[in-house]
Structure 1
Amino acid sequence: MNAGELEYLNVADDRIAVRHRNGATPGVMWLGGYRSDMGGTKAVALDTWAEETGQAFTRHDYSGHGESGGEFRDGTISLWLAQSLAVLRQRTVGPQILVGSSMGGWIALRMIQELHKAGEGDHVAGLLLLAPAPDFTAELMEPVLTPEQRAELMERGFLEEHSEYSPEPNIYTRALFEDGEQNRVMTGLIDTHCPVYIMHGMEDPDVPYQHALKLVEHLPADDVTVSLIRDGDHRLSRPQDIAMMITALEGLVDRVVDPD
């Protein structure tokens, strides 16, 4: 696996698509957002960067996303978390910097919690969170559900919502909401034991930048950096956003390689 070739990893009942590039440590692991895949602009830019710098890089599609098997409607935070942990444990070597975009930021924070519980906290050397959306079901969606949407969730088991990024509507299931409640991270201190860098656009229509500031309140006081992009949107995929992401990532890599 020297050039990010596609392979599949069986995790429980799902066939998870993975692309891994061997290279120097700390490795970098990409965690995409809700309904996004590892072929997106930011993930591909990071793969190009890894090829040019010789850094190890791993990306995968959650079940129901991209090139992976499984049904999207069956997905939950717990399921996608388990798949991400399996990829980390089976396809990466040495400490990793987790780059989580939107929902991927929630997955990254939950991964750190589960790894520390298992005595495997040294797998993570840093976090780069892009427009992070931890606890989005409870914090961002539930408070604004209409009575009609709540009824739809209970009666149909899911609701549909127009997507700005796809001709297909976003689908949110009752199982996703219920499971999200069990995976909340913004309920107390999230002890990451590693440096955290957060980028968030102030023109983000999906996850307000205030959500990132609220997340910071739950992180240790040391080693947390927040960069607010005044005209940035949710995707943070413009050339200047990509350049900023890579600069932040290189800073995290340097801190691991030379902690002094």
Structure 2
Amino acid sequence: MPATTFLETPQGRKLAYHRTEGQGPWVVFLGGLKSDMEGTKATHLESWARARGQAFLRFDYSGHGESSGIFEDGCIGDWHEDTMAAVAALTEGPIIAVGSSMGGWQSLLLARTVPERLLGLVLVAAAPDFTEDGYWASFTPAQKARLEADGYVEVPSDYMEPYRISRRMIEDGRSRLVLRDPLPLPFPVRCLQGTADTAVSTETALRLLDHASCDDMRLTLVKDADHRFSDGPCLGLIEAAIEDILTAAG
């Protein structure tokens, strides 16, 4: 395994990354909240891309994995800046963004910011606007009071230790929402969603499908697949979605 390399962003953060040279378009994996680039999907897709001779990038947002920073200090906007910096410095030409969970939201922010760079999107259990529609909407009055008084609140996770969610993350998230205003996606989009996902509901996937403006957008529901979406058949579906976009692009 090649050694991890680091990119210093315009904001002064150091992002850990692995970059695989190959033919374009670049496939860029955008991970989920508190996930890192050593996860099953990221490393599997890297091996898949290397076998094809496909250019591939995986990286850690600040406060995640090997990158600099503390998770609790970060927010959606910081990680959007990280994504933009990594794409600008480490890829060339068209890209296919593969966004998992929070990475799905990051993929949509990327598409809104530089649509000319996107050949297509693969969204796996995408969680757009989750800080508002998931966290804030479910907080009790006591949790909202603690968020205001202490600056953070802890929320449980089905997959790891509780998340410490900051007031800054909630407030910044409100300026990054993608399901309130028009969301043009002028390229193929493939959405994958497990029906046994306890972190992101099928209703979220259907809301995104209904809201976005896209001439070639498809949603695949996978019975009994959970939020990880990382077993053999699910990984095969992610590969197939990328290949479908490559075929559509000609």
- Is the shorter-chain TM-score for this pair beyond 0.5, marking a shared fold? yes
Q: Does 1:134 align with 2:128?
A: yes
Letter in 2 for 1:7: T
Indicate the larger mover: 5-14 or 69-78: 5-14
SS state at 1:68 partner: coil
SS state at 2:220 partner: strand
Aligned residue in 2 for 1:176:
169
SS state at 1:138 partner: helix
How far residue 148 of structure 1 moved from its aligned partner, in angstroms, is: 1.5
For residues 187 and 114 of structure 1, what CA distance do their matches in structure 2 show? 16
Aligned residue in 1 for 2:36:
37
CA contact (8 A) 2:179 2:208 kept: yes
Per-residue CA deviations over 1:139-164 (Å, capped at 9, x if unaligned) read 12222111121111111111112222
Q: Equivalences for 1:104-253 in 2 at 5 Å?
A: 104-115=103-114, 121-166=115-160, 168-253=161-246
Letter in 2 for 1:152: R
**If the length of structure 2 is used for normalisation, what is the TM-score?**
0.96
Per-residue CA deviations over 1:177-213 (Å, capped at 9, x if unaligned) read 0000000000122112111000001111111111010
Q: Does 1:14 align with 2:8?
A: no
**If the length of structure 1 is used for normalisation, what is the TM-score?**
0.93
SS state at 2:7 partner: strand
How far residue 221 of structure 1 moved from its aligned partner, in angstroms, is: 4.5
Aligned residue in 2 for 1:59:
58
SS state at 1:20 partner: strand
Identity %: 38
CA contact (8 A) 1:4 1:20 kept: no
> What is the CA RMSD across the aligned residues, in angstroms?
1.2
For residues 143 and 160 of structure 1, what CA distance do their matches in structure 2 show? 15
How far residue 52 of structure 1 moved from its aligned partner, in angstroms, is: 0.6
For residues 221 and 44 of structure 1, what CA distance do their matches in structure 2 show? 29
CA contact (8 A) 1:4 1:21 kept: no
How far residue 73 of structure 1 moved from its aligned partner, in angstroms, is: 1.1
How far residue 56 of structure 1 moved from its aligned partner, in angstroms, is: 0.3
How far residue 4 of structure 1 moved from its aligned partner, in angstroms, is: 5.8
Aligned residue in 2 for 1:80:
79
For residues 52 and 196 of structure 1, what CA distance do their matches in structure 2 show? 24
Letter in 1 for 2:180: T
How far residue 253 of structure 1 moved from its aligned partner, in angstroms, is: 1.7
For residues 109 and 53 of structure 1, what CA distance do their matches in structure 2 show? 26
Following TM superposition, the consecutive aligned residue runs of length 4 or more in structure 1 with deviations greater than 3 angstroms are: none
Q: Which runs of 5+ in 1 are unaligned?
A: 116-120
For residues 90 and 112 of structure 1, what CA distance do their matches in structure 2 show? 17
Per-residue CA deviations over 1:98-147 (Å, capped at 9, x if unaligned) read 000000010111111111xxxxx331100000000000011122221111
